Structure 1
Amino acid sequence: MKVVALSSSPRRDGNSWALAQAAGKGVREAGHELDFVHLTDYVDRPLGDCRQCRLSNGSCSVDDGYERLLLDHVLPADAIIYATPLHWYGMTGRLKDFFDRLFCYTSASSPHAEVANAGLMHKRAAVLISCEESYRGATLGLEAQFQELTRYLRQDLVGIVVGVGNSRGEVERDPARPLEAAADLGRRLFDIKVTDYRLDTERSNRVWSPAPPDETY
């Protein structure tokens, strides 16, 4: 399977990058193909007013590497690892630009809409967050945003790892061992069971099947 890790920090060797490296180690240990990407190498500009800057054929006119990132790295992947430090209790501006600019490629007027919409859906997704605050509520807003983003894109959010640290590489000293958790998440990226039930969902009374032979009720 193909996995792309999107590192969104402006600092190329910071704590979120360390988490991404750990997750990537797990991905490779599981035998999958890994593609590391720094968003700063591809995304230079935010979303503009499509009514003014869209080209006559419907294409996005923002001239940076975003289209290459999307078509050559993101869409071919079976899973995406989103890595970000916590900036003002949210994702980095660069990662927000990545999501905002999806509109240019998924809207009905885009010549890439069909391939972009199909390629974005049905992927596995994992989120890695570095944060200097140990306060549990600090990252909850961002975690909820990723839950809704991935649900809208019909991606399965398989896990979120939060590592506490500020100075470069300090996340390694977090007693909660987030680097180990990130590596485990990478190893199990395609094995983690994801459920999102509705009232009318057909399901058995067991989460893990088959049941052990000596199990009694």
Structure 2
Amino acid sequence: MKAMVLCSSPRRDGNSTTMANAVADGLLEAGHEVETVHVDDVLSALLRDCRQCRMPDGECAIDDGFRRAFFGSYLPADGFVAASPIYWYGVSAQLKAFFDRMFCYVAASHPQSASVVAQMTGKRIGLVLSSEETYPTVSSSPQHQFQEFSRYTRSTFVGVVHGHGNARTDICRDPSDPIGRARVFGRNFFSAHTSDYQIDTPRSGRVWA
């Protein structure tokens, strides 16, 4: 399987990036293909008004690396794991902008929108978070956002790994071992059991055979 790991922290050696690298290591250990992308390398602008910004042929007029990352890395991936520090109880602005920029290619005014929408569905999606605060619900807003994105794109939300730290490498001192958990998360990413039942979902009386 092919996975994209997206690092959205401005720190290349920050805590969420360290966890993202561990996820990538786990994916590689399981024999999967992995591409790690840093948002700062591909995205230089926020989403604009497509009605004013779009080129005559329907393409996005923002000249940066986002289109290449979106078409070359995100859409072909079977799975997507995003890593972010928690800023003001949400994901980083870089990560939010990455998702916002998708709209330019999903909108009907883009010539390939139907193909884009088809390729956005059916992925496995994971989230890696770091925060200084250890309050139990500090990650609830980012997690809910990703659950809703997964639902909207008919994808499978595999889960979240949340570690705690502030200064660089502080995450390594977290006694809950988020680095180890992130590595296991990556290793089991494509095989982990997931369920999202509705009241009429056919299911057996047991979770495990």
- Listed as ranges, the gaps of 5+ residues in structure 2 are none
Secondary structure class of the residue paired with 1:105: helix
Count of matched residue pairs: 209
Query: Would you say 1:162 and 2:178 are equivalent positions?
Result: no
Aligned to 1:71: 71
Aligned to 1:95: 95
Alpha-carbon shift at residue 122 of structure 1 (Å): 0.6
Alpha-carbon shift at residue 88 of structure 1 (Å): 1.1
C-alpha separation in 1, matches of 2:78 and 2:195: 18
- Taking structure 2 as the reference length, the TM-score comes to 0.97
- Listed as ranges, the gaps of 5+ residues in structure 1 are 210-217
Aligned to 2:141: 141
C-alpha separation in 2, matches of 1:199 and 1:27: 33
Counterpart of 1:133, as a letter, is: E
Alpha-carbon shift at residue 13 of structure 1 (Å): 1.1
Secondary structure class of the residue paired with 2:95: helix
For residues 47-196 of structure 1, the aligned pairs below 5 Å read 47-196=47-196
C-alpha separation in 2, matches of 1:115 and 1:10: 32
Secondary structure class of the residue paired with 1:60: coil
Counterpart of 2:3, as a letter, is: V
Percent identical pairs in the alignment equals 45
| Alignment RMSD (CA, Å) | 1.0
Aligned to 1:198: 198
- Structure 1 runs of 4+ aligned residues shifted over 2 Å read none
Alpha-carbon shift at residue 99 of structure 1 (Å): 0.7
C-alpha separation in 2, matches of 1:137 and 1:33: 33
C-alpha separation in 1, matches of 2:147 and 2:40: 24
Alpha-carbon shift at residue 208 of structure 1 (Å): 1.7
Greater C-alpha radius of gyration:
1
Counterpart of 2:115, as a letter, is: V
Secondary structure class of the residue paired with 1:48: coil
Alpha-carbon shift at residue 57 of structure 1 (Å): 2.1
- Taking structure 1 as the reference length, the TM-score comes to 0.93
